[in-house]
């Protein structure tokens, strides 16, 4: 290596700019403590500081910044849901995503690809038609397409009628997109930190002080802080953290795995999902195939990968794209998904006063990061749940007023 280059490398005169300030000491008190420094917690901090002028905020995360499900998801963004409540909510998120690189002045690699949910049976064709109708009614661009159009959109897809599950049609959702998940979290973190929000990574919340039914302090492994308001945004740890505050959530927690292949020349533009074959795939800007399938069939707080998942997923993938049989896998990983009975999130009030909830994100929460951050910030700042979040309240389970999204949840469960 040339000496000049080595000297340049070690020179202190050209240090890389530090995007985020170092972790400070915990203060005695904050107006808002956000538990969970994933995309959701960071987005809420960003909108609280930017839109509502609330900056005395600590975002507390037990690991590194956005190292939970935000770092582990497959970054699919779409609003082709089944219920009007779901479609409106996710549509607001898609619109926010479309402007996010400009808003941050930081490229989140938002890439609009179109999203195809394949139907292999008459029953799933019926569901796709239903989704297309609800989507159109809410102003969202989704339509039912048939094999000739699918062949045009994905020429490499096996559309032979002589397979186990022939493709009969698909829901085509043109706004379906992918983005760089880390960039989304970093954009929100940088924006929040630049307005004075403190980011406390490697700090675990271990309890809450509750007086007369209201939260008054947060206990961490680095000390206790007083707080005006708590926002819980811990995705796959929601039941555990809620238990620290003394309430229960209707959540079942399961691992969700994914993997990527070696990079290939671009051949796949849309995101392709098959409910019957329990698999989905998109091609990243680096050429890797980003693939996933069903959640693991047992409850577990574990982020380990299994051979079982890989074998099952590849068998199904090869039915759709037989020519991929020689392709190698590069990485496999898992996250932890908090599944709700109706496959919709749980946001808003809890039995504890001043303790707000952002949870129940199962396998679907990355796409909701901007809308959830923005609307939870509004909730925390005003003390009122906005209309768009109202259908997702925790007490819907007592009222049997569910927001059933099982037919639009993308991965099997």
Selection from ligand FAD, ligand PYC, none that 62 binds (CB < 5 to 8 A by kind) is ligand FAD
Site residue total, ligand FAD (CB under 6 A): 41
User: Could you tell which of ligand PYC, ligand FAD, none binds residue 205, using a CB distance below 5 to 8 A set by kind?
Assistant: ligand FAD
| Cα 244 to Cα 2, 36, 249, 308, distances in angstroms | 57, 14, 12, 34
Question: CB-wise, 68 or 169, nearer to ligand FAD?
Answer: 68
Q: Alpha-carbon distance 117 to 120, whole Å?
A: 10
Taking the complex as a whole, the smallest distance from the CB of residue 403 to ligand PYC amounts, in Å, to 15
Q: How far is the CB of 129 from ligand PYC (least distance, A)?
A: 19
User: Which CB atom, from 78 or from 131, has the smaller least distance to ligand PYC?
Assistant: 78
Minimum CB distance to ligand PYC smaller for 74 or for 237: 74
Enumerate binding residues for ligand PYC (CB under 6 A): 74, 76, 78, 280, 292, 363-364, 410-411
Return the residue of 44, 46, 59, 74 that touches ligand FAD, per CB under 6 A: 74
Q: Are the C-beta atoms of 290 and 282 separated by less than 8 Å? A: yes
By beta-carbon proximity to ligand PYC, the closer residue of 239 and 344 is 344
Q: Residue 389 interacts with ligand FAD (CB under 6 A)?
A: no
If the CB atoms of residues 76 and 218 are measured against ligand PYC, the closer one turns out to be: 76
Q: Does 204 bind ligand FAD (CB under 6 A)?
A: yes
26 binds ligand FAD (CB under 6 A): no
List, edge to edge, every strand of the sheet that includes 271-274: 142-145, 169-173, 115-119, 271-274, 279-283, 289-295, 252-261, 329-339
Quick one: 73 or 238, whose CB is closer to ligand PYC? Answer: 73
Q: Does 86 bind ligand FAD (CB under 6 A)?
A: no
Query: What is the closest distance, in whole angstroms, from the C-beta atom of residue 336 to ligand PYC in the complex?
Result: 13
Partner whose footprint covers residue 133, from ligand FAD, ligand PYC, none (CB < 5 to 8 Å by kind): none
Asked if 30 and 56 touch (Cβ cutoff 8 Å), the reply is: yes
Counting contacts by CB under 6 A, is residue 236 touching ligand FAD? yes
Beta pairing, strands 346-348 & 289-295: unpaired
Which residue do the tokens 């190698």 mark? 328
Pull the structure tokens for residue 77. Answer: 């963004």
Nearer of residues 49 and 363 to ligand FAD, judged by Cβ: 363
Alpha-carbon distances, residue 383 vs 4, 189, 295, 349 (angstroms): 59, 23, 35, 9
- Looking at 103-191, which runs of residues are DSSP E strands? 111-112, 115-119, 142-145, 169-173, 177-178
From the list ligand FAD, ligand PYC, none, partner contacted by residue 361 (C-beta under 5 to 8 A by kind): ligand FAD
Cα–Cα distance for residue pair 369/245, rounded to 1 Å = 24
Name which of 126 and 202 has its Cβ closer to ligand FAD: 202
Question: In angstroms, rounded to a whole number, what is the distance separating the alpha carbons of residues 267 and 170?
Answer: 19
Q: What CA–CA distances, in Å, run from 49 to 21, 54, 260, 276, 293?
A: 16, 5, 36, 44, 37
Q: What is the DSSP letter of 408?
A: G
Taking CB under 6 A as the rule, does residue 376 contact ligand FAD?
no
Q: What DSSP line would sit under 259-326, residue for residue? A: EEEPP--S---SEEEETTTTEEEEE-TTSPEEEEEEEPSS--------HHHHHHHHHHHHHH-GGGGG
The residue within the footprint of ligand FAD, chosen from 49, 70, 79, 142 (CB under 6 A), is 70
Which chain residues interact with ligand FAD by CB under 6 A? Answer: 35-41, 60-63, 66-70, 72-76, 204-205, 233-237, 241, 256-258, 292, 335, 337, 361, 363-367
């Amino acid at each position: 290596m040339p000496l000049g280059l080595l000297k340049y490398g070690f020179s202190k005169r050209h240090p890389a700019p530090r995007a985020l300030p170092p972790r400070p000491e915990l203060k005695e008190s904050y107006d808002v403590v956000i538990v969970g420094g994933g995309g959701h917690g960071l987005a809420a901090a960003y909108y609280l500081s930017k839109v509502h002028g609330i900056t005395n905020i600590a975002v507390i995360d037990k690991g590194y910044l956005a190292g939970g499900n935000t770092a582990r998801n497959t970054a699919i963004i779409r609003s082709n849901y089944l219920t009007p409540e779901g479609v409106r909510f996710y549509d607001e998120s898609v619109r926010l995503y479309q402007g996010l690189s400009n808003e941050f002045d930081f490229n989140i690699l938002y890439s609009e690809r179109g999203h195809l949910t394949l139907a292999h049976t008459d029953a799933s064709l019926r569901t796709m038609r239903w989704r297309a109708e609800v989507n159109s009614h809410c102003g969202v661009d989704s339509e039912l397409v048939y094999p000739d159009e699918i062949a045009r959109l994905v020429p490499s897809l096996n559309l032979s009628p002589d397979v186990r599950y022939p493709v009969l049609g698909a829901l085509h959702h043109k706004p379906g997109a992918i983005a760089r998940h880390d960039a989304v979290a970093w954009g929100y973190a940088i924006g929040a930190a630049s307005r004075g929000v403190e980011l406390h990574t490697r700090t675990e919340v271990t309890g809450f002080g509750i007086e007369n039914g209201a939260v008054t302090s947060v206990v961490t492994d680095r000390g206790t802080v007083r707080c005006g308001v708590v926002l819980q945004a811990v995705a796959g740890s929601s039941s555990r953290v809620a238990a620290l505050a003394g309430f229960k959530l209707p959540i079942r927690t399961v691992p969700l795995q994914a993997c990527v292949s070696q990079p290939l020349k671009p051949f796949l533009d849309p995101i392709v999902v098959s409910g019957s074959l329990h698999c989905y795939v998109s091609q990243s800007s680096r050429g890797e195939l980003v693939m996933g399938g069903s959640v693991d069939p047992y409850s577990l707080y574990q982020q380990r990968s299994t051979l079982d998942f890989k074998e099952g997923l590849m068998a199904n993938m090869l039915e759709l794209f037989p020519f991929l049989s020689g392709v190698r896998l590069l990485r496999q990983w898992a996250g932890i998904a908090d599944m709700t009975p109706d496959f919709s999130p749980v946001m808003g009030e809890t039995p504890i006063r001043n303790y707000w909830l952002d949870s129940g994100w199962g396998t679907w929460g990355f796409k909701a990061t901007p809308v959830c951050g923005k609307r939870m910030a509004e909730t925390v700042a005003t003390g009122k749940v906005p209309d768009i979040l109202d259908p997702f309240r925790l007490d819907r389970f007592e009222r049997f007023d569910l927001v059933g999204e099982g037919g639009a949840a993308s991965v099997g469960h």
